[in-house]
Amino acid sequence: DAGVTQSPTHLIKTRGQQVTLRCSPISGHKSVSWYQQVLGQGPQFIFQYYEKEERGRGNFPDRFSARQFPNYSSELNVNALLLGDSALYLCASSATGPGGHSNQPQHFGDGTRLSIL
């Protein structure tokens, strides 16, 4: 079975531009979360979506937004890019049930490497 897939794998943008990152969860997984990982740090939580509803939001500015589609895939949008947005953006999915939170492990994709010039 396919794991979590993310696209694109690499992206180069300039300051002020906008970017959209995409994620397809493992088949059957309804929960998708987004994380930002800068070099040398652990991932930082950005959003969780379950059944197209936002279940959690991390400490990120409003320039960051996300949505989840009926097929449970998800997009992360970042507007007005800053140099500090350069990072590896990771998507994770889990087999969480209706409560939106469970003891199911989160499975991560290989990420999108975003570089801002």
User: Which positions touch other proteins (CB under 8 A)?
Assistant: 4, 6, 31, 33, 35, 40-45, 48, 55-58, 90, 92, 94, 96, 100-111, 113
**Least CB distance to other proteins at residue 16 (A):** 27
Beta-bridge mates of residue 36: 44, 89
Task: Count Cα atoms within 13 angstroms, Cβ side, for 99.
Answer: 4
**Least CB distance to other proteins at residue 51 (A):** 13
Nearer of residues 61 and 110 to other proteins, judged by Cβ = 110
Nearer of residues 7 and 18 to other proteins, judged by Cβ = 7
Show Cβ contacts of residue 27 under 8 Å, excluding neighbours closer than 6 positions. 1, 2
Nearer of residues 57 and 63 to other proteins, judged by Cβ = 57
Residue 95 contacts residue 83 (beta carbons within 8 Å): no
DSSP-based three-state secondary structure for 104: coil
Beta-bridge mates of residue 55: none
Nearer of residues 4 and 76 to other proteins, judged by Cβ = 4
**Least CB distance to other proteins at residue 73 (A):** 17
